[in-house]
């Protein structure tokens, strides 16, 4: 067949292939035809997904305009409303629709600043949704990601999704996307991938098996997966904590560079995207847009600004809305602890024998500070460091090490004043047997974690399981279980002692607002990351941050070790930066914990001055600590010498109100328009009810054996059903931990209101169960159960029929939908219009339209106005006019004529987009003075790929589809409704 035979191919149409019927979800042009992705709708292939090629398969397209009209005799025109609703849901909304479609109907209660980020990511100013979400710690980046993905799914751009996260946040991320957005991700580790391989032929790629997956970066970075990942296409890829994947040559970076070209939408997330190395930050920009970094290594700052979304706790658009949802953090509590005689003896030995003794090598000069750090952590940590050093067998050090080891052995939990201060503090805040009070204690050393666990439980007489330790040496599952346990109220865990493995991406604020730094990191970034575990959106109690600082008796010793001289000020500067800037990283400008630690060590060693190394927030605001602002650089001029430019690009959000450097991606400060409730139904439950009535012939409440699903609807916004086999098959693509724990293959419970959904989500995290999966899952607009029920219902209606209903119209009125798609099968425009017989009838001379056409911006409002609501009265049998076929034929022809104008408008927009991109591409090419490095070659390949993508996004085909015929109802009256809900 020629390509012209497939002019009607578009998402939402039905095809016949291999003797079965399929619903098309995606159409992409190939060199010799089209590639079609479809879901089976006939009995034998129902719920099966398949890919067909028109060059290989015999495919028949059911022309959606070639239909007959069948009167709807169902109660309240249920059949018509269900048909219309399901058809509209199956048709993606336009790629660049400005209004959000489903984001605010989820279990998220989003704030305006979060919605503005979503709209920015989906903006038509972007060739495709590729963005760095760099919001500061605690602002809800996961919620923003969930809303972006939900909108992409509704736009037909989210069928295949890959999420890559650090292993310790996988379950948290998976839970958030499923419980709040009904976006199911199957969690895969190396064993899970192997299991998938065993199910497939050797030649089959395991990453094509599940459409939506979440995998840890540690698993996926293995070189053995590289070739397979290069061959898989994704609609959207999310990489969380992207700063861990920016060092060129690392496996993490190779993974990110492998994935970026395989997806249209790329969402990168990090509160600390700049690690201090210019090349690392450029890696992030190249992943998003290869043109953003020119061949000479300079950054196109205008392009970079558009790629980055960054706000913080005190950004105006954030501070004005978080309110009681995020309690403000109080000033840090620095507890100064007078060292005990035993602790003083150790401190004096370290100062005299190590810190104040000239070193002969660089390594010997650093080792004393390893001892200082270990001493300030715990006797167990110092013992570990001494033992490790002794193994090096340096004769000149052995006597000093032996002496230090002996002194340190005399420091125990009984005479350590620092440990005693911790116990006193824990008792003061109410940590005791029978108390609900929770606290998280951070330390850098595993030896300290274990020492604290053993002694805290003993001194506070806490029951078994009340004190637990988490560190990077634990398995993925053990880490995830600990995090989940700490969030729930029904567990005995009260004191979580953790290393910095929990300082990134882990939410610990659900039941906790007390945090203790038992030892203090020599890094502002690390302090900020730790504090962000409890100081984040959703924290309803004032976060209390406490640090324990040991004060040796001898002033000279205290000055040598420097905890009070330096680290107290570091804690205070982090707090001030949090209040004024919302981010501590700009104070040092290193954007890397290791680099910051090196600088602080220099201060401790008296090689640098503290104020020289750590700026005050006021200096950052006034620019006194910065190099000349980017505002002096012409917008079109790429910049080099980028260390300070990158720094200012990221700090811009903090200084925008003070006339600072530049603004990152401009986001609206006024309230963001919420997504309208685009549906013929007041609630998702009403849609599910109608679909089940239609699918099971009004017998959904009967048992499976009797042909139903044992459907029950309770008064408390809860429904239940027993999943039949075809629905259970769909559960293979849900989070399997949820499926097994809640036994949903046996009985499924759904919450039908946001209020009830939030109650069940809260209950799961506060004592309802052993795991955080809610007993009743929220029935949102993307829920797979609604999709399944609608599919079952529509099977009962022949594909070549449309319904006729009665409404408040003057004469027979045909409702049509016109869609415009590009060669990738993506919907660029979706238009609704009605057609009625024109004044000259259907037999008109050439050049005249036989019908009058009216466009409707809001089809749901129009359907409400004509009375097609749940309250519509169906009188029973009525006849379809004899000239209905003529009306349909004339209406389709007129609609195509009108859609040509829509196509021209979209074509102009596409050409403008291509021209803008081409100008940037030419600038990049001109800047390339014949360089042929590997990076330049890779970038050229990516630029060519983007060029082909742009060409494919131009409008190509239009499709007109009759939806329903509305006949005059003498008993109906047209109404003007005050809102959409009333119309429904």
Q: What pLDDT score does 488 carry?
A: 84
DSSP 589-627: S--SHHHHHHHHHHHHTTSS-HHHHS--HHHHHHTTTSP
Sign of the Cα torsion 601, 603, 608, 611 reads positive
* pTM for this prediction: 0.83
Containing 180, the helix (H) or strand (E) segment is: helix 170-181
Nearest-angstrom CA–CA distance, 915 and 934: 28
Listed residue (501, 577, 568) closest to 535, CA to CA? 577
Nearest-angstrom CA–CA distance, 536 and 329: 9
Listed residue (672, 674, 653, 659) closest to 313, CA to CA? 653
The count of other CB atoms within 10 Å of the CB of residue 562 is: 22
Cβ-Cβ contacts under 8 Å for 396 (sequence gap 6 or more)? none
Q: Are 263 and 234 in contact (CB under 8 A)?
A: yes
Instruction: Give the residue carrying structure tokens 């959207």.
Output: 236
Dihedrals φ, ψ of 414, to 5°?
-80, -30
Beginning with the edge strand found earlier in the chain, give each strand of the sheet holding 186-188 in spatial order. 186-188, 212-216, 161-165, 234-240, 263-269, 130-133, 308-309
Q: Which residues of the chain have pLDDT under 70?
A: 1-5, 47, 275-276, 359-360, 362, 505, 562, 623-677, 767-769, 971-984
In order of 274, 526, 647, the CA distances from 585 in angstroms are: 9, 10, 9
Nearest-angstrom CA–CA distance, 708 and 410: 74
Q: Where are the beta strands (DSSP E) in 489-536?
A: 495-498, 514-517
Cβ-Cβ contacts under 8 Å for 195 (sequence gap 6 or more)? none
Q: What pLDDT score does 630 carry?
A: 31
3-state secondary structure of 763: helix
Measured torsion, CA atoms of residues 425, 427, 428, 432, in degrees rounded to the nearest 10: 140
Nearest-angstrom CA–CA distance, 460 and 448: 18
Residues linked to residue 836 through DSSP beta bridges, in sequence order: 852
Instruction: Give the residue carrying structure tokens 């042909």.
Output: 707
Each residue of 440-484: pLDDT tens digit?
Answer: 999 999 999 999 999 999 999 999 999 999 988 887 778 878 888
In order of 131, 144, 237, 396, the CA distances from 212 in angstroms are: 20, 18, 10, 60
In order of 1, 417, 422, 799, the CA distances from 340 in angstroms are: 89, 6, 14, 84
Angle at Cα 115 formed by Cα 114 and Cα 119, nearest 5°? 125
Q: Are 895 and 960 in contact (CB under 8 A)?
A: yes
Q: What pLDDT score does 201 carry?
A: 84
Beginning with the edge strand found earlier in the chain, give each strand of the sheet holding 801-807 in spatial order. 68-71, 801-807, 955-968, 813-822, 827-837, 851-856
Containing 213, the helix (H) or strand (E) segment is: strand 212-216
Cβ-Cβ contacts under 8 Å for 185 (sequence gap 6 or more)? 161, 163, 173, 174, 177, 178, 212, 213, 214, 735
Sign of the Cα torsion 572, 577, 582, 588 reads negative
Q: What pLDDT score does 647 carry?
A: 60
Nearest-angstrom CA–CA distance, 43 and 885: 30
Q: Are 851 and 894 in contact (CB under 8 A)?
A: yes
Instruction: Give the residue carrying structure tokens 């029951």.
Output: 463
Measured torsion, CA atoms of residues 943, 944, 950, 956, in degrees rounded to the nearest 10: -170
Domains and CATH numbers, the chain: 1-62 (2.30.30), 103-312 (3.40.50.10810), 338-409 (no CATH), 684-780 (no CATH), 798-983 (no CATH)
Nearest-angstrom CA–CA distance, 666 and 111: 17
The pair of structure tokens assigned to 26 is: 């995606």
The count of other CB atoms within 10 Å of the CB of residue 925 is: 12
Angle at Cα 838 formed by Cα 836 and Cα 843, nearest 5°? 115
The pair of structure tokens assigned to 807 is: 């409404």
């Amino acid at each position: 067949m020629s390509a012209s035979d497939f002019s009607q191919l578009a998402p939402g149409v039905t095809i016949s292939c291999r003797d079965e019927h399929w619903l098309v979800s995606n159409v992409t042009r190939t060199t010799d035809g089209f590639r079609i992705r479809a879901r089976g709708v006939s009995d034998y292939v129902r719920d099966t997904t398949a890919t067909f090629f028109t060059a290989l398969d015999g495919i028949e397209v059911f022309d959606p305009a070639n239909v007959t009209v069948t009167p709807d005799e169902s109660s309240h025109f249920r059949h018509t409303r269900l048909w219309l609703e399901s058809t509209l849901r199956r048709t993606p909304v336009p790629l660049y629709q400005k209004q959000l479609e489903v984001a605010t109907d989820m279990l998220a209660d989003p704030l305006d600043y979060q919605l503005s980020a979503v709209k920015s990511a989906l903006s038509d100013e972007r060739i495709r949704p590729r963005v760095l979400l760099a919001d500061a710690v605690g602002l809800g980046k996961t919620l923003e990601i969930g809303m972006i993905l939900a909108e992409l799914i509704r736009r037909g751009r989210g069928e295949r999704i890959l999420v890559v996260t650090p292993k310790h946040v996988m379950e948290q991320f998976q839970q958030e996307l499923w419980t709040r957005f009904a976006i199911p991700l199957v969690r895969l580790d190396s064993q899970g991938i192997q299991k998938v391989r065993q199910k497939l032929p050797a030649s089959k790629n395991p990453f094509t098996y599940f459409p939506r997956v979440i995998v840890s970066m540690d698993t996926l970075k293995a070189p053995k997966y590289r070739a397979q990942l290069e061959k898989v296409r994704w609609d959207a890829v999310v990489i969380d904590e992207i700063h861990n994947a920016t060092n060129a040559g690392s496996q993490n970076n190779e993974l990110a560079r492998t994935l970026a070209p395989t997806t249209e939408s790329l969402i990168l997330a990090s509160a600390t995207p700049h690690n201090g190395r210019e090349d690392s930050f450029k890696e992030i920009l190249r992943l998003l847009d290869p043109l953003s970094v020119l061949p000479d290594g300079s950054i196109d700052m205008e392009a970079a600004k558009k790629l980055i979304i960054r706000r913080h706790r005190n950004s105006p658009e954030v501070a004005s809305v978080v309110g009681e949802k995020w309690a403000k953090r109080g000033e840090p509590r620095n507890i100064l602890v007078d060292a005990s005689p035993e602790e003083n003896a150790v401190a004096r030995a370290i100062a005299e024998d190590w810190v104040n003794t000239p070193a002969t090598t660089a390594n010997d000069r650093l080792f004393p500070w390893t001892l200082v750090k270990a001493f300030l952590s715990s006797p167990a940590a110092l013992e570990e460091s001494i033992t490790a050093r002794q193994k090096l067998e340096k004769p000149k050090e052995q006597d000093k090490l032996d002496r230090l080891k002996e002194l340190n052995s005399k420091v125990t939990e009984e005479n350590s004043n620092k440990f005693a201060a911790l116990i006193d503090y824990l008792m003061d805040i109410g940590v005791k047997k029978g108390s609900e009070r929770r606290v998280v204690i951070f330390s850098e050393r595993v030896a300290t974690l274990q020492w604290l666990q053993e002694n805290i439980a003993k001194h506070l007489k806490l029951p078994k399981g009340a004190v637990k330790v988490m560190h990077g040496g634990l398995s993925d599952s053990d880490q995830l279980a600990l995090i989940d346990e700490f969030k729930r109220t029904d567990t005995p865990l009260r004191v979580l002692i953790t290393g910095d493995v929990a300082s990134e991406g882990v939410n610990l604020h659900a039941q906790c607002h007390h945090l203790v730094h038992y030892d203090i990191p020599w890094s502002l970034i690390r302090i900020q990351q730790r504090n962000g575990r409890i100081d984040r959106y959703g924290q309803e109690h004032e976060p209390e941050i406490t640090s324990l600082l040991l004060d040796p008796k001898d002033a000279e010793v205290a000055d040598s070790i420097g905890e009070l001289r330096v680290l107290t000020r570091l804690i205070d500067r982090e707090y001030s930066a949090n209040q004024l800037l919302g981010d501590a990283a700009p104070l040092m400008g290193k954007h890397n914990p290791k680099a910051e630690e090196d600088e602080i060590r220099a201060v401790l060693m008296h090689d640098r001055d503290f104020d020289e190394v750590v700026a005050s927030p006021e200096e950052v605001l006034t620019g006194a600590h910065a190099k000349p602002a980017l505002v002096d650089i012409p917008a079109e001029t790429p910049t080099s010498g980028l260390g300070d430019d990158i720094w200012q690009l990221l700090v811009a959000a903090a200084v925008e109100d003070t006339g600072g450097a530049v603004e990152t991606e401009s986001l609206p400060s006024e309230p963001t328009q919420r997504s309208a409730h685009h549906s013929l139904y007041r609630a998702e439950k009403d849609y599910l009810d109608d679909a089940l009535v239609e699918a099971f012939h009004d017998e959904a409440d009967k048992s499976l054996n009797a042909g139903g699903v044992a459907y029950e609807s309770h008064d408390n916004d809860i429904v239940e059903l027993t999943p039949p086999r075809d629905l259970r098959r769909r559960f293979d693509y849900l989070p399997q931990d949820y499926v097994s724990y809640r036994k949903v293959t046996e009985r499924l419970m759904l919450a039908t209101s946001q209020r009830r959904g939030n109650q069940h989500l809260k209950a799961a995290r506060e004592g309802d169960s052993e795991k955080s999966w809610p007993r009743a899952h929220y029935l949102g607009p993307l829920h797979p159960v609604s999709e399944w029920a609608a599919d079952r219902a529509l099977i009962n209606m022949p594909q070549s029929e449309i319904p006729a209903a009665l409404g408040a119209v003057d004469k027979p009125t045909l409702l049509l939908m016109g869609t415009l798609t590009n060669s990738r099968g993506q919907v660029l425009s979706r238009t609704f219009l009605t057609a009625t017989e024109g004044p000259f009838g259907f037999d008109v001379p050439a050049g005249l339209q036989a019908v009058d056409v009216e466009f409707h911006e809001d089809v749901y409002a129009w359907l409400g106005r004509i009375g097609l609501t749940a309250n519509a009265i169906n009188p029973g049998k009525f006849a379809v006019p004899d000239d209905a076929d003529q009306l349909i034929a004339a209406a389709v022809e007129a609609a195509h004529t009108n859609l040509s104008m829509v196509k021209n408008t979209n074509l102009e927009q596409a050409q403008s987009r291509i021209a803008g991109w081409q100008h940037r591409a030419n600038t990049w090419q001109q800047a390339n003075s014949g360089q042929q490095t590997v990076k330049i070659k890779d970038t050229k390949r990516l630029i060519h790929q983007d060029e082909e993508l742009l060409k494919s996004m131009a409008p190509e085909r239009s499709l007109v589809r009759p939806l329903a015929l509305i006949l005059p109802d003498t008993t109906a009256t047209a109404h003007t409704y005050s809102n959409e809900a009333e119309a429904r």
